Amino acid sequence: MRTKDAEGRVFDERPWGSFTVLDDTMFDHKVKRIVVSAQKRLSYQRHQKRAEHWFVVEGTATAILDGAEFELSPGQSVDIQIGQAHRCENRTNAPVVFIEIQTGTYFGEDDIVRLEDDFGRA
């Protein structure tokens, strides 16, 4: 459910965890703080109008890019190109937190093309 946090930022709970929009004031980028709950994963998806950069700040994330897996620890990052299939998985019993920087021409949630989803949204 999309709400506002104590600082007035957009906050949204999802079946896999939550996200907070840290910055969406510019036309060419958007920044989110994403929390993936223990043993959860985001949908396997792609975007037509944006690329993403994920920087892990807490926990151990497994990034899937076009079927290839990469384990990411705090301080590590991965770049996702426009059109590239991707997902973040948390295979641990502690939360994963990463900062997502989106760049491109459009950042709406309707630019998500879900290829697989654990929660029936594909």
Single-letter amino acid code for the residue at 38 = A
Average pLDDT, the chain: 96
Residues 2-24: tens digit of each pLDDT: 798 888 899 999 999 999 999 99
Extended beta strands in the chain, E state: 2-4, 10-14, 17-23, 29-36, 44-47, 50-58, 61-65, 68-72, 77-80, 86-89, 96-104, 112-116
Give me the pLDDT at residue 53, please: 98
**Residue 91 pLDDT greater than 70, yes or no:** yes
Residues 46-67: tens digit of each pLDDT: 999 999 999 999 999 999 999 9
**Residue 74 pLDDT greater than 80, yes or no:** yes
Alpha-carbon distance 51 to 6, whole Å?
Answer: 29
Give me the pLDDT at residue 17, please: 98
The predicted model scores a pTM of: 0.93
Give me the pLDDT at residue 7, please: 87
**In order of start, what are the domains of the chain with their CATH numbers?**
2-107 (2.60.120.10)
Give me the pLDDT at residue 1, please: 66
Section 27-43 average pLDDT:
97
